[in-house]
Chain A
C-alpha cells in the first residue's frame, strides 16, 4: 500500500473565461485562475509551498515565477520555477510537482498560467511577434519565411507523402473539436463546422487551412497538486496522477528529420513523422499500469490538426501511418471509440498561449469528476492529457485516474 502522503493528486482546478477579454492582462489572469483553483480545492493558501508558471508572451519576466508568487502572496516555496517548455509545460509541470510530493519536499504545488494573446496583439501581427520573440531557429529557419503554421505544414505534407493522409482526414479532427466546443458553454468557437467548411477555409500554408489551425485567445488556467493524504481533507474528489512521462528532442526541423546526434539504435526509430512521444507515452502508460485501450477520453494537444493526428499513432491508439483513417467516421467524437478534446481543444475552445495545454488537463480532471454536463463521457475512469511543443518535438503525457 502506497503511503498516501507520497501519492500526488490534482486537488483543484480553475479556468477563467476565455476568448477576447478586453482590459485584462496576463498577471490578472494568473491571479484569477489561481484563486479559482484554490477555492475549488478548498485549501488554505498558506499551505501552498510550490509554484510553477510557464512565463507569458505578455508581461514576461526572466523570473516570472517570482512575479506571480508576489501577486499571490505565496512567500516561501520549496519548489518554484518558470517552466520554459512552452506548450508542453503542464504535463511536464505535473511531473515536477509529483516528484516534489513523492520526495516529501512540498505539501501543495500550484501550477498557473495566463495570457492575453488575442486582446494585446493587433490582428495579423501575432505570428510575426512570435517569430521576433525568438521561438524557433532565428538564423537558419525563419529567414526562409516559415512561421509556426508553416512548420506544422511541413510535418503534415510529409505525413501525407509517406502515408497517404488526406486533408479530409485532418479536417475530421477540427470537426470533432468544434462539435465538442458546441457543447461547452465556455468555448470560444461554438458554431458547428463540416469537413467541407475546413477545406473551404483560407489556405495558410499548404496543406493546412485556417480551420486546421488553433485559435488565438485570452485566458488563464490553474491546477493544485497535493498529496492524497492532504486532498482527503479538501473539498473535491482527488484525481490521481497515475502515470506521467516526457520526451524532448530538438527545434530544427532538419535535425528532427534525421535525429541528429542520436545513437544509431535510437535514430532509426525517429524522423519528422516518428516523434519521441512514444518514449513519453511508454513511461506514462507503464507507470499507470494501463494501455491505450483503457483510455476513456483523450485530451490531445491540438495546436494544429496534424499535431493531434500524429499523436493518435505515437500514443499507440493506432499503428504508424494509420491515423488518417482512424480519425474518420466520428471515432474521435463523443459517442465514438475515442472521444478527444471534449472541451473543444485549442482548435475551438481556446489557445491563450502556453496555458492552452493546461486546459486539456483541467478538462481531463473535470471528465473524471463527472462535471462536464452535455459533453460528459459516461463512466470516465481513465483520462489522457498530452502537451506538445516546438513542432511536435517536445512532449509530455499524463494518465489521470479517479
Chain B
C-alpha cells in the first residue's frame, strides 16, 4: 500500500469513519465557533481544546483547480487524469479534494460544488465533490 493512502489516526478516525457512512463532518470549536480542518487536538484559531464533531452542509466553491495528467499514488486514481481541486467550504475551511462526475474536467474556479463520496477500500471513503445543480 502506498503511504499516501489515508491512515486514520487517533484524531482523524472520526472523520474517516463518518465519510465511510457518507456523513461529511469536521470539528467545530465550542468557544470561537469556527470550523477546523484538518482534524486537530487544539483549535488553531483560539487554542481551545473543546472541539466537537459537527456535520457540514457539504457545499462549497472551487478555490483552485488543476487537471493532473498523471496523478501519483492516488488511492482513488482511475487510469488517466484526475481533477484536483481546493474547495472552500461554505463553513470556511479550504480542503484538497477531487472533482468527479459530469463536467469535472471543465470545472472553473468559482464553480459551486457539493460533496460526494468515493469508497476506495474496505475502510476508506474519500470525500470528493461534484458540480452542484444550478442555483445551489
Of the 9-residue stretches A149-157, A191-199, A221-229, A313-321, which lies at the interface with chain B? Answer: A149-157
A145 to B128, CA, bound (A): 12
**Of A147, A203, A204, A258, the contact of B93 (CB 8 Å cutoff):** A258
A141 to B96, CA, bound (A): 6
A-B pairs under 8 A by CB, number: 137
A128 to B72, CA, bound (A): 6
Nearest chain A residue, comparing its CB with the CB of B126: A143
Interface string of A140-167 (1 = CB under 8 A from B): 1111111101100111011001000000
Interface string of B54-85 (1 = CB under 8 A from A): 00000000011111111111111100001011
Identify whether the interface residues of B are mostly helix, strand, loop, or mixed. loop
Nearest chain A residue, comparing its CB with the CB of B46: A261
Of the 9-residue stretches A97-105, A130-138, A177-185, A294-302, which lies at the interface with chain B? Answer: A130-138
Cβ B73 vs Cβ A205 within 8 A: no
Across the interface, which residues of A come within 8 angstroms of B92, CB to CB? Answer: 258
Q: Is B94 an interface residue (CB 8 A)?
A: yes
Which chain B residues in 96-130 approach chain A with CB under 8 Å? 96-98, 109-110, 126, 128
Cβ A150 vs Cβ B38 within 8 A: no
Q: Is A290 an interface residue (CB 8 A)?
A: no
**Of A131, A149, A206, A260, the contact of B44 (CB 8 Å cutoff):** A260
Across the interface, which residues of B come within 8 angstroms of A139, CB to CB? Answer: 6-7, 9, 12, 38
Q: Is B17 an interface residue (CB 8 A)?
A: no
Task: Known contacts A141-B96, A143-B75, A144-B98; decide if A153 and B6 are in contact (CB<8 Å).
Answer: no
A91 to B3, CA, bound (A): 31
How many residues on the A side are at the interface (Cβ–Cβ under 8 A)? 40
CB proximity of B125 to chain A, nearest CB, Å? 11
Cβ B126 vs Cβ A144 within 8 A: yes
A253 to B86, CA, bound (A): 8
**Of A141, A144, A261, A272, the contact of B64 (CB 8 Å cutoff):** A272
A143 to B88, CA, bound (A): 18
A260 to B65, CA, bound (A): 20
Cβ B66 vs Cβ A205 within 8 A: yes
A131 to B44, CA, bound (A): 26
Q: Is A35 an interface residue (CB 8 A)?
A: no
Cβ B84 vs Cβ A150 within 8 A: yes
A258 to B106, CA, bound (A): 25
Nearest chain A residue, comparing its CB with the CB of B87: A254
Q: Is B23 an interface residue (CB 8 A)?
A: no
Q: Is A45 an interface residue (CB 8 A)?
A: no
Task: Given A203-B67, A205-B84, output 13 extra A-B contacts at Cβ < 8 Å.
Answer: A128-B73, A131-B72, A132-B4, A138-B7, A140-B38, A154-B65, A157-B64, A204-B69, A254-B93, A254-B96, A257-B63, A260-B45, A272-B86
Which 7 residue pairs spanning A and B have beta carbons closest together?
A145-B74, A145-B71, A254-B94, A153-B66, A142-B4, A261-B44, A158-B64
What residues of chain A have their CB less than 8 Å away from a CB belonging to chain B?
Answer: 127-128, 131-132, 134, 137-147, 149-150, 153-155, 157-158, 161, 202-208, 252-255, 257-258, 260-261, 272
